[in-house]
Amino acid sequence: MRNYIFLIACFTTLVLSAQKLMTPEEYIEKFKEDAIKEMYIHKIPACITLAQGMLESGNGNSDLARNANNHFGIKCHKEWGGDTYIMDDDEKNECFRKYEDVLDSYDDHSLFLLSRSRYASLFELPLTDYKGWCYGLKDAGYATDPKYPQRLLEIIEKYKLYELYKPEVAPKQNFPTHDEVKPQLVIRDVYRFNHIRFIISKPGDSFYKIASDFNLELDKLLEYNDLKPGDKLQAGQKIYIERKRRRALEPYHVVQKNETLRSISQLHGIRLSSLCKKNRLKPDDTLKVGDVIYLRARKNKEN
């Protein structure tokens, strides 16, 4: 019996050691389209997103990446509303965010940068200024490694990730999908964030066409996105095909230039009515850069 257990243990060790590690080239090929999607929607250079994912996850091979689908090393922080994964890092038993899918990690990385004021200056940089982004991330406190910018630059330039930037060109329509909708028609790619399905509108789209593609009433589609008849649709918009949540995953959002309550509700997948109620605001209220918008708890009267 002992010999049998020993053989099983040896076999298990051999299987684990034989697990194929993802190469940098394989990682790039697998996730470059999602990095381009994030650039198209959230204005973060694709080369930055991809390089950070490669560096932070060890090309998708780290324990955090394999066990929690967390490719950016993002910790829980206060009031994170999703699943968690505990592991030793700078300190013992630190809390990291855990995702159902790797693409959720990519979405949350963008929201993490967008929702914190210390990264606001990065979004003023041209998408081609990847060097400014590399040094800006370090200056804003994304990583403690003093050589973090150089490590990102080495990856970007070694693998020519800067070539992923294509000005004013919509992303390809064959992003990796989370769900299959009407597979026999191969109409659209469907993504999911905060457990809500959404699509990215394409050039030539209309609300009626999107509603028809997903067998929805037009009124329902408009309601899901807090829209009114007559609102215009632009290519690259995030359009939800089911009702948004009452709470977001992030605890708060710091208002950036030109943002509105509706744009914040779309960004975080939270209903506009819930967002207004939590912050004691009306849908058309004007926001100021730097305002803190609560996404999970209600704003206290004294704040």
Task: Say if residue 2's pLDDT is above 60.
Answer: no
Q: How confident is the model at residue 301 (pLDDT cuts 50, 70, 90)?
A: low
- CA proximity to 296, closest of 21, 23, 2, 79: 79
Poorest-pLDDT segment among 134-138, 153-157, 233-237? 233-237
d(CA 6, CA 74): 39
Structure tokens at 45: 């250079």
pLDDT digits (tens, 9 = 90+) for 163-196: 987 544 444 444 433 333 333 333 577 888 778 8
Structure tokens at 159: 């693998």
Class at the top of the CATH hierarchy for domain 252-294? alpha beta
d(CA 50, CA 131): 14
Q: At a CB cut-off of 8 Å and minimum separation 6, what does 152 contact? A: 48, 51, 52, 55, 134, 137
Structure tokens at 100: 């159902």
Q: Give yes or no for a contact between 261 and 275, defined as CB atoms under 8 angstroms apart.
A: yes
- For the segment 254-283, the average pLDDT, to the nearest whole number, is 93
- For the segment 267-284, the average pLDDT, to the nearest whole number, is 94
Poorest-pLDDT segment among 25-29, 221-225, 233-237? 233-237
- For the segment 194-207, the average pLDDT, to the nearest whole number, is 86
Structural domain boundaries in the chain:
24-164, 191-240, 252-294
Structural domain 191-240, CATH architecture: Roll (3.10)
d(CA 287, CA 284): 9
> Which run of H or E residues covers position 239?
strand 238-240
pLDDT at 55: 96
DSSP class of residue 223?
Answer: H
d(CA 209, CA 41): 21
Question: Tokens 């949350």, residue?
Answer: 108
Answer with the residue of higher pLDDT: 169 or 50.
50
Name the average pLDDT for the chain.
84
Task: Say if residue 32's pLDDT is above 60.
Answer: yes
pLDDT digits (tens, 9 = 90+) for 78-93: 767 788 999 988 788 9
SS3 of 96, please? strand
Q: Do domains 191-240 and 252-294 have the same CATH topology?
A: yes
Answer with the residue of higher pLDDT: 7 or 193.
193
Report if pTM > 0.75.
Answer: no
Task: Say if residue 116's pLDDT is above 80.
Answer: yes
Q: Which CATH number is 24-164 given?
A: 1.10.530.10
DSSP class of residue 299?
Answer: P
- CA proximity to 140, closest of 120, 124, 169: 120
